[in-house]
Structure 1
Amino acid sequence: MHFLLITGFFPDEAQDDSLQFELDITGSEMNEKVAQLIESKPLDEVEPGELLLTLDQVTALENLLDVSFPKGLEYFMGTCATY
């Protein structure tokens, strides 16, 4: 089983490549909703790795998750294994 993670970094990694934002998606139901929203497929079909999110996807995630993402960052969605 795995879950989704949203991370944010400054666009210019030469200036600062450190992690600026991190959000673990909790609960299997919410992970399924996020997978459907971003990838249009079930969570168990989401490939490992990171996906650069578009501004529209970030806005949709803010609405779904009821979270304000800091402005000025590039956001990625990745998969993490559960132990």
Structure 2
Amino acid sequence: MRYLSITGFLPDEAKDDSLQFELLIKDYELNQALAQLTESKSLDDLEPGELEMTDTQIKQAAELLNTEFPEGLEYFIGTRALS
């Protein structure tokens, strides 16, 4: 089974590629909602890999997940395999 994760990194000009934020979403309904929000597809139809999130997607995801995302980071959403 797959699920989504959201990761945040400092912008490229910071020259620091260390992970600054990570959120693993394992709830099935939330994964489906995020897949629709970011790619307008179901979770099962998403290709492996990561996609950079837009500011609008970040705001919508924060509301959906009831989570605050630290400002100043670049966010990516991607599929992961559940072990």
If the length of structure 2 is used for normalisation, what is the TM-score?
0.94
Q: Give the whole-Å Cα distance in 1 for the aligned partners of 2:62 and 2:11.
A: 19
Matched, 1:9 2:9: yes
Alpha-carbon distance in 2 for matches of 1:48, 1:15: 26
| Residue correspondences, number | 83
What is the TM-score when the length of structure 1 is the normalising length? 0.94
Unaligned runs of 5+ in 1: none
Distance in 1, Cα, partners of 2:70 & 2:26: 20
| Gapped regions of structure 2 (runs ≥ 5) | none
Pairwise CA RMSD of aligned residues?
A: 1.1
Runs of 4+ in 1 over 3 A off after TM superposition: none
In the aligned structure 2, how far is the partner of 1:55 from the partner of 1:29? 22
